[in-house]
């Protein structure tokens, strides 16, 4: 079995920066909510049931061979920083990190697959890939679901489909999320229109870390809300052919407009971001996200040539609180942490 | 508190009607709403259903069950408090109460359409057939709406065929 320290990739899969349309689409993610028949949902699970579930699900997942090498983290035993590290890599949710009681997560070595055990539902399967790859992601998660289902009896109802603790997830239990980088739409003041259009289509717009998080650094997660009455394929099809291409086109238009009509202002924005990152001595994580977002835009539209996207993506992740502390191998607070962050970025940018 | 447009009771039914491009708001108490059948009669069925459910949910006419689940012990009030159900059996126990909530949360969706586990106990095939039928019926409605009658005819035949097997 792998250990947490074996997560050696400098950036989690979602930030590796490959995949189709990666100048605008950061990542494609699908999660499925499943519960084991014969057990209450977690809010009504006695401590013992919870433990039985946790060990049974852990054994089943590890025996199922969902990936060539699978790491299982017992979150009850893990340290605060380890849990935070998993959140920053998008492998567990914030509530799962903060919860109590028997729970864990199984992660594939390449970090594309993560399965949370005893989150809001008994199982929360997730597949995450960089760029726009929804069909590939669905194929992979569907296969994993089939494998687990051949070993577990999932709670299923002929009318309501897969039963979940919260009725907002019932049916397919699917949440399709696409993370987009939309700095140009923000700069020309059109981003609100995208939000409204998305909301009209019953889609949720969230920040980098999902539910309850603010959109920072022009990163937006768009996901479906309805899970009952629409099949998985219908939802994915809508995203892939309707929703996402329209937003991509909109952002591309906005980028062209900035390039053609506001070249100097645009150049000023992106170079100012680079300048600050190269010179600042104290940087908060929010400011870094904001600056890296502009830097990323500058690189993608060819106005900044001496920084590569790979380093930008790595900086996104490695300057976040838990990762920074892991690199430095010590606990950092306040200005000491902000100074360490600024120093790390200066080094990365060769300043 | 908003008073009923027709009497002095508190208004619990709120409606917005658009007639000839003009927006009209109506606020009624449950009795007046019931007496005057204030539900728009010529609108599309889904909206009609939504409104009916809305009225029901706010009128107290709905049998607010006080039953608690034999298997997990929660009551409908418990669920309303924290938004989480206690066990799979709650979906059957609270089916009536859940339906309007589900419609609101799922763009009007009330029946599952999509993946069915390969082994759904012993009646796996029956369950799968039910879900498939639901899907076919929905496709039929869509084909009719799109005036694709050739496709609609084929779907109608498939539905008849599927119903026969059961």
Helix (H, G, I), strand (E, B) or coil at B57: helix
Distance CA A16, CA A67 (A): 19
> Per-residue pLDDT tens for B30-53?
777 776 655 444 334 456 556 655
* Among candidates A142, A145, A165 on the partner chain, residue whose Cβ is nearest the Cβ of B85: A165
Residue B40 has a pLDDT of 44
- Whether residues A163 and B91 touch (CB distance < 8 A) is answered with yes
pLDDT band of residue B56 (cuts 50, 70, 90) is low
Q: Is the pLDDT of residue A27 over 80?
A: yes
- Please report the beta strands in chain B, taking only residues with DSSP state E, as ranges in sequence order: 13-19, 22-28
Residue A48 half-sphere exposure toward CB, CA atoms < 13 A: 0
Residues of A with CB under 8 A from a CB of B: 35, 37, 39-41, 43-44, 120, 142, 145-146, 149-150, 153-163, 165-168, 170-172, 174, 202, 225-234
Closest chain B residue to A158, measured at CA: B127
pLDDT range class, residue B7, cuts 50, 70, 90: confident
Does residue A102 surpass a pLDDT of 90? yes
Q: Which chain B residues are within 8 Å of A234, Cβ to Cβ?
A: 113-114
- Token pair of B14 as six digits: 């709120």
End-to-end CA distance of chain A: 40
Q: Which residues of B touch A167 (CB under 8 A)?
A: 85, 91, 98, 101-102, 105
Per-residue pLDDT band at A65 (split at 50, 70, 90): confident
Is the Cβ–Cβ distance between A221 and A205 less than 8 Å? yes
Q: Which residue has the higher pLDDT, B6 or A186?
A: A186
Residue A14 has pLDDT above 90, yes or no: no
pTM of the model: 0.78
Of B84, B109, B118, the CB nearest to A228: B109
- Give B-chain residues touching A34 at CB under 8 angstroms: none
What's the pLDDT at A5? 62
Rounded-to-10 torsion of CA A107, A113, A118, A123: -150
Most distant CA atoms of chain B, gap in Å: 58
Contact A232, A173 (CB under 8 A): no
Angstrom distances, CA of residue A36 to CA of A69, A91, A93, A260, B30: 24, 22, 20, 56, 42
With an 8 Å Cβ cutoff, is B136 touching chain A?
no
pLDDT of residue B52: 58
The more confident residue out of A271 and B38 is A271
Res. A280 pLDDT band, cuts 50 70 90: very high
ipTM of the modeled complex: 0.86
In angstroms, how far is CA A350 from the centroid of its own chain? 28
> Is residue A299 within 8 Å of A333, Cβ to Cβ?
no
pLDDT at A267 over 80: yes
Q: How far is B166 from chain A (nearest CA, A)?
A: 15
Whose CA is closest to A116, among A128, A105, A108?
A105
CA distance B64 to B70: 17
Which stretch, A249-253, B76-80, B156-160, has highest mean pLDDT? A249-253
Supply A219's token pair. 């990163």
Query: Cα distance from B41 to chain A (closest Cα, Å)?
Result: 25
pLDDT of residue A256: 96
- Nearest neighbour of B84 by CB, restricted to A43, A171, A230: A43
Q: How far is B15 from chain A (nearest CA, A)?
A: 20
Cβ–Cβ gap A160/B91 under 8 Å: yes
Report the percentage of chain A scoring pLDDT > 70: 93
Inter-residue contact B86 to B132 (CB < 8 Å): no
Q: Give the residue, A195 or B164, on which the prediction is more confident.
A: A195
Q: Which two tokens stand for residue A75?
A: 């979150």
Across the interface, whether the CB atoms of B107 and A202 are under 8 A apart is answered: yes
Least CB–CB distance from B84: residue in A37, A41, A162: A41
CB contact under 8 Å between A228 and B112, yes or no, is yes
Average pLDDT, chain A: 91
| Angstroms from B10 CA to nearest CA on chain A | 31
pLDDT at B131 over 90: no
Chain B residues with beta carbon closer than 8 angstroms to that of A202: 107
The minimum CA-CA distance between A14 and chain B, rounded to whole Å, is: 26
| Predicted pLDDT at B44 | 45
A1 pLDDT band (50/70/90 cuts)?
very low
Q: Quick one: pLDDT band at residue A165, thresholds 50, 70, 90?
A: very high
Q: Who among A154, A159, A162 is closest to B111 (CB)?
A: A159
Contact A228 B92 (CB under 8 A): no
Q: Which of these, B40, B56, B45, B68, lies nearest to B101 by C-alpha position?
A: B56
Q: Which residues of A touch B113 (CB under 8 A)?
A: 171, 229-231, 234
Give the count of beta carbons closer than 10 Å to the beta carbon of residue B125: 12
Q: CB–CB of B114 and A167 under 8 A?
A: no
**B51: enclosing H helix or E strand:** helix B45-59
* Candidates B70, B104, B114, partner chain A, best to mutate (most A CBs within 10 A): B114
Instruction: Confirm if A228 and B102 have CB atoms less than 8 A apart.
Output: yes
> Does B120 touch chain A if contact means CB atoms closer than 8 Å?
yes
Q: How would you write chain A as a 3-class SS string?
A: CCCHHHCCCCCCHHHCCCCCCCCCEEEEEEEEEECECCCCCHHHCCHHHHHHHHHHHHHHHHHHCCCCCEEEEECCCCCHHHHHHHHHCCCCCHHHHHCCCCCEEEEECCCCEEEEECCCCCEEEEEEEECCCHHHHHHHHHHHHHHHHCCCCECEECCCEECCCCHHHCECCEEEEEEEECHHHHHCCCHHHHHHHHHHCCEEEEECCECCCCCCCCEEEEEECCCCCCCHHHHHHHHHHHHHHHHHHHHHHHHHHHHHHCHHHHHHHHHHHHHHHHHCCCCCHHHHHHHHHHHHHHHHCCCCCCCCHHHHHHHHHHCCHHHHHHHHCCCCCHHHHHHHHHHHHHHHCCC
Of A214, A338, A349, which Cα lies nearest the Cα of A278? A349
CA-to-CA dists, residue A287 to A213, A214, A216, A277, angstroms? 16, 14, 9, 10
Q: How long is chain A?
A: 351
Q: What is the pLDDT of residue A168?
A: 96
Better-predicted residue by pLDDT, B122 or A74: A74
Rg (CA), chain A: 21
* Cβ distance of B114 and A163 shorter than 8 Å: no
Q: Which residues contact A74 (CB under 8 A, 6 or more apart)?
A: A104
- The Cα of A350 is separated from the nearest Cα of chain B by a number of Å equal to 50
Name the β-bridge partners of B18.
Answer: B23
């Amino acid at each position: 079995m792998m250990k947490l320290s074996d997560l050696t990739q400098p950036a989690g899969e979602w930030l590796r920066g490959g995949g189709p349309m990666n100048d605008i689409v950061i990542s494609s993610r699908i999660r499925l909510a499943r519960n084991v028949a014969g057990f209450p949902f977690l809010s009504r699970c006695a401590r013992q049931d919870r433990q039985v579930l946790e060990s049974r699900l852990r054994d089943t997942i590890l025996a199922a061979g969902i990936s060539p090498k699978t790491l299982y983290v017992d979150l009850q035993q893990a340290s605060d920083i380890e849990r935070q590290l998993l959140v920053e890599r998008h492998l567990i949710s914030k509530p799962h990190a903060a919860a109590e009681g028997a729970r864990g997560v199984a992660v594939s070595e390449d970090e594309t697959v993560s399965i949370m055990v005893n989150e809001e539902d008994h199982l929360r399967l997730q597949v995450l890939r960089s760029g726009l790859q929804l069909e590939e992601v669905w194929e992979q998660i569907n296969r994993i679901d089939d494998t687990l289902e051949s070993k577990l009896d999932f709670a299923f109802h002929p009318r309501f489909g897969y039963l979940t603790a919260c009725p907002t997830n019932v049916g397919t239990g699917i949440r399709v999320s696409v993370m987009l980088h939309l700095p140009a739409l923000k700069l020309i003041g059109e981003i609100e229109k995208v939000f409204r259009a998305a909301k009209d289509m019953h889609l949720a717009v969230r920040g980098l870390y999902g539910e309850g998080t603010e959109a920072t650094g022009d990163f937006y997660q768009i996901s479906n809300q309805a899970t009952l009455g629409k099949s998985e394929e219908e939802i994915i099809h809508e995203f892939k052919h309707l929703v996402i291409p329209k937003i991509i086109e909109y952002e591309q238009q906005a980028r062209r407009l900035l390039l053609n009509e506001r070249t100097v202002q645009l150049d000023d924005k992106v170079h100012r971001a680079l300048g600050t990152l190269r010179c600042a001595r104290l940087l908060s994580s929010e400011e870094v996200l904001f600056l890296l977002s502009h830097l990323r835009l500058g690189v993608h539209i060819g106005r900044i040539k001496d920084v590569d996207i790979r380093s930008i993506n790595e900086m996104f992740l490695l300057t976040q609180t838990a990762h920074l502390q892991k690199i430095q191998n010590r606990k950092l607070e306040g200005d000491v942490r902000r100074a360490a962050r600024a120093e790390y970025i200066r080094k990365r940018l060769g300043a | 508190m908003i008073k009923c447009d027709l009497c002095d009771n508190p208004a619990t039914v709120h409606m917005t009607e658009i007639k000839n491009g003009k927006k009209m708001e109506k606020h009624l108490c449950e009795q007046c709403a019931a007496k005057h059948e204030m539900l728009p009669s010529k609108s599309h069925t889904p909206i009609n259903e939504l409104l009916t459910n809305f009225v029901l949910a706010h009128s107290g006419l709905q049998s607010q069950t006080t039953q608690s689940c034999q298997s997990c012990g929660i009551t409908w009030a418990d669920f309303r408090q924290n938004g989480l159900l206690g066990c799979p059996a709650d979906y059957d126990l609270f089916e009536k109460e859940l339906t309007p909530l589900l419609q609101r949360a799922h763009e009007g969706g009330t029946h599952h359409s999509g993946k069915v586990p390969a082994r759904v106990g012993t009646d796996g095939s029956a369950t799968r057939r039910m879900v498939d039928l639901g899907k076919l019926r929905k496709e039929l409605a869509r084909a009719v709406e799109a005036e694709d009658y050739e496709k609609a005819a084929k779907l109608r035949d498939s539905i008849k065929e599927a119903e026969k097997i059961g």
